[in-house]
Structure formats: structure tokens, C-alpha cells
Homo-oligomer: A and B are copies of this chain.
Amino acid sequence: MVRKKVRIGGLVIGPGEPVRVQSMTSTHTEDIKGTVNQIRELEKAGCEIVRVAVPDFESAEAIREIKKQINIPLVADIHFDYRLAMRAVEAGADKIRINPGNIGSDWKVREVVKACKEKDIPIRVGANSGSLKKELRRKMPVEDALVESVREEVKILEDMGFDNIVISIKASDVGVFIRANQKAHREFQYPFHIGVTEAGPVPQGIVKSSIGIGFLLMNGIGDTIRVSLTADPVEEIEVAYDILASTGIRKVYPEIISCPTCGRMEIDLLKLIEKVKPLWEGLKLPLKIAVMGCAVNGPGEAREADIGIAGGRGYGLIFRKGKIIKSVPEVDLYNEFKRELQKLIREVENAHEGGKGEG
């Protein structure tokens, strides 16, 4: 099967492209200032595609102004009313998300398709375990109903000669989510947007998203990901990049290696982490940085770290790839580590010809 690519504003998702991180605003979209502010915060955190809710015409209309003030592609999220989709397309949305299962009659979907075709923007279709048609839910297991639902929606679009499609299948049950996406991925050649829905508050929401999205990514499924948390959307971005890094799919930001707090600890590790973390805030380099609680095991156990720090009993160690490069009194540890980290960053950036990294 030849897998397709899809363009969303200035980005392309699909085979060979980086898996893109997206989120959704929690503001009321018609509040242009609040929405733009949140999107800018999300951009700063690394969000690459943003979705806004469009529950009314004011929100659809607001897209026009919001688009002028942000730098990442914007997706309009439509429920129920196809006219809102039409208005959002007119206002400049880079992609439309509709759940045709709740848009109503096919002819309404057709109207939306026509508008998107004219503007050459993609449509994300899909199914959500919470809004499946009753007939489907009764007939078969949920995961099959989800795939069948997608099949029906895709057919409507394809029958109109429209193939600028992104697929998503959402469920709050991780097992259902995984199995349905695996089945659909074998059948459809379009890019997949993946995310566990109604995952819940932290930490449960992080756990469910990590297991579900992580499992699919490691099986080669997923072109853009959304972590849904009942929390500040900026936290969704951090978790999304952690999932990408942990699965080895895409490494953009530094990763921290640090030991669990144990009875062998010789230093207040949580405090130390809080203190040094700002040193690499906003840094777009996939360094492995270790912050370890004991000087004896620290450097060895964090051997894979590009740079690391271990404290204990009045002195501290700074190491690179397991090799101790400095042993200093604890009072000097922070400043020495800062210097060594900056040195390492310069080296890596020079090696990468100017430090543009991946992002």
C-alpha cells in the first residue's frame, strides 16, 4: 500500500515526515485575544498544529483574525452543524475536523467536501467511541464499529473524488483504541491522527495516552499525535514530546535521566533538578542530561547521558558519557555544571552546522 501525504498549512504529514505534535485550545474561540495568547504559549512549548472549537458562527468568524496572529496551521473543530464548517473554511482554516457521525445527512457532508476541495484543505474524519451511530454499536464490537464508521465516512469523500483526508479513531479505552487503529491502518492509506480521548486528569491521562499512543507509534502507526489531558494544554505538548522521545520516533528536546528517590540518596534530588532544569529550558537539542542522587552509582548508571551531574556528601561530580570530567565542592556544582553544559551545547551546535537541529 502506498501511503499518502497531506498538507496542513505549511506542514506536510505522512510517510517520511516527522510525526507532528498538536493540541487544542481550551479558550472560547470567539475570544480572539485569549485564544491567540494560548496558541502562542502552545507554539512556544513546541505545538506544531493547533485545533480550535467552533461551536458557533462567532467562533468560525474569529478564525480569520486568529490566523493573522499565529504561526502554526489551524484546524477548525466542528460538531453537528455543517454550516459552521463552511464558515470556518471561508475564514481560512487550514484543515477541518468533522465527525460525520454527528454532522447528519450525507448531503451536508458533501457541501463541506466541496468547500474544502475548492480551497485545497484536508478534512480529518473519524470516529469516537463515544459518538458512534447506534446501529453500528449494536451490530459489532466497538473496535469494528469504529473502523466501519470510518469506512463509511471515507467512502463519502472518495466518491466525491476527494482524497485529502486524515483519519482518526478515538476511544477512551486503550485496548479498543489500539485494536481499532491497527485494523484501520491496514485498510486506509491516509495519514493517521492518533490520540486517546477522555483520558482523564493527570497522572491517569498521561498513563493512558503514553500507553496507547506509544504502542501505536512503536508499531509504525501515527503521523500526528494529540495528547488529551484534563489539564493545561501546554502540558499536553510536553507529554507528547516525551512520548515521541521515549519511543525513539522523534527526539527534539533534552531528555532527563534521573534516579528514583531511594534510601541511598545523598542529596535532595528533586531540589537539584528544579534548580538545573532552567539551564536547558527552550533548548531544541535532543541531549540526554543526567541528574543523579548519589556520586557512587550516578556516573555509571547514567553512562548513556551526554552530560550529567551527581551530588553527595559535600562534593559533586560532572560527567560525560559515564566519564567523570570534574569533581567539585557542592557549592560550586551549579556554576561548574552550567559552564560544562554550555560548552557541550556549543560543541553539538557547531557539529550540527549552526544548531538548527531538527525543529
Task: Evaluate contact between A53 and B257: CB separation under 8 angstroms.
Answer: no
| Residue in B77, B131, B174, B211 whose beta carbon sits within 8 Å of that of A301 in the complex | B131
Task: Evaluate contact between A304 and B172: CB separation under 8 angstroms.
Answer: yes
A131-B297, A210-B210, A231-B270 known; A29 vs B202 contact (CB < 8 Å): no
Stretch in contact with the other chain, from A161-169, A243-251, A343-351: A243-251
Task: Evaluate contact between B207 and A246: CB separation under 8 angstroms.
Answer: yes
Question: How would residues 300 to 328 of chain A score, 1 for a CB under 8 Å from any chain B CB and 0 otherwise?
Answer: 11111000000000000000000000000
Task: Evaluate contact between A201 and B273: CB separation under 8 angstroms.
Answer: yes
Task: Evaluate contact between B304 and A174: CB separation under 8 angstroms.
Answer: no
Task: Evaluate contact between B208 and A206: CB separation under 8 angstroms.
Answer: no
Q: Is A233 in the interface zone, CB < 8 Å from B?
A: yes
**Closest Cβ of chain B: how far from A285's Cβ, in Å?**
16
CB-CB < 8 A to A28: which residues of B?
263
Task: Evaluate contact between A290 and B211: CB separation under 8 angstroms.
Answer: no
Q: Is A334 in the interface zone, CB < 8 Å from B?
A: no
CB-CB < 8 A to A290: which residues of B?
198
- A sample of 17 more A-B contacts (CB under 8 A), given A26-B262, A198-B258, A230-B258, is A24-B262, A52-B263, A53-B263, A53-B264, A55-B264, A130-B297, A130-B300, A178-B218, A202-B203, A207-B242, A211-B211, A211-B215, A214-B214, A228-B259, A229-B260, A233-B260, A233-B261
**Closest Cβ of chain B: how far from A139's Cβ, in Å?**
16
**Closest Cβ of chain B: how far from A305's Cβ, in Å?**
9
Chain A interface bracket (under 10, 10 to 19, 20 to 34, 35 or more):
35 or more
Task: Evaluate contact between B55 and A263: CB separation under 8 angstroms.
Answer: yes
Inter-chain CA distance A29–B263, complex, in Å, is: 6
Q: Is A175 in the interface zone, CB < 8 Å from B?
A: yes
Task: Evaluate contact between A263 and B59: CB separation under 8 angstroms.
Answer: yes
CB-CB < 8 A to A211: which residues of B?
210-211, 214-215, 218, 243, 246-247
Q: Which 5 residue pairs of A and B lie closest in terms of their CB atoms, listed nearest first?
A: A130-B301, A53-B263, A211-B214, A210-B210, A26-B261
Inter-chain CA distance A258–B205, complex, in Å, is: 9
Task: Evaluate contact between B174 and A246: CB separation under 8 angstroms.
Answer: yes
CB-CB < 8 A to A248: which residues of B?
173-175
CB-CB < 8 A to A235: which residues of B?
203
Central interface residue in A233, A258, A291, A297, by most chain B CB within 10 Å: A258
Inter-chain CA distance A129–B322, complex, in Å, is: 12
| Residue in B29, B205, B208, B256 whose beta carbon sits within 8 Å of that of A200 in the complex | B256
Q: Which residues 180-203 of A have a CB within 8 angstroms of B? A: 197-203
Task: Evaluate contact between B260 and A201: CB separation under 8 angstroms.
Answer: no
Task: Evaluate contact between A198 and B259: CB separation under 8 angstroms.
Answer: yes
CB-CB < 8 A to A269: which residues of B?
230
A174-B247, A242-B207 known; A261 vs B214 contact (CB < 8 Å): no
**Closest Cβ of chain B: how far from A21's Cβ, in Å?**
13
Closest to A270 in B: B230
Closest to A212 in B: B246
Question: How would residues 222 to 255 of chain A score, 1 for a CB under 8 Å from any chain B CB and 0 otherwise?
Answer: 0000001111110110110011001110000001
Task: Evaluate contact between A198 and B301: CB separation under 8 angstroms.
Answer: yes
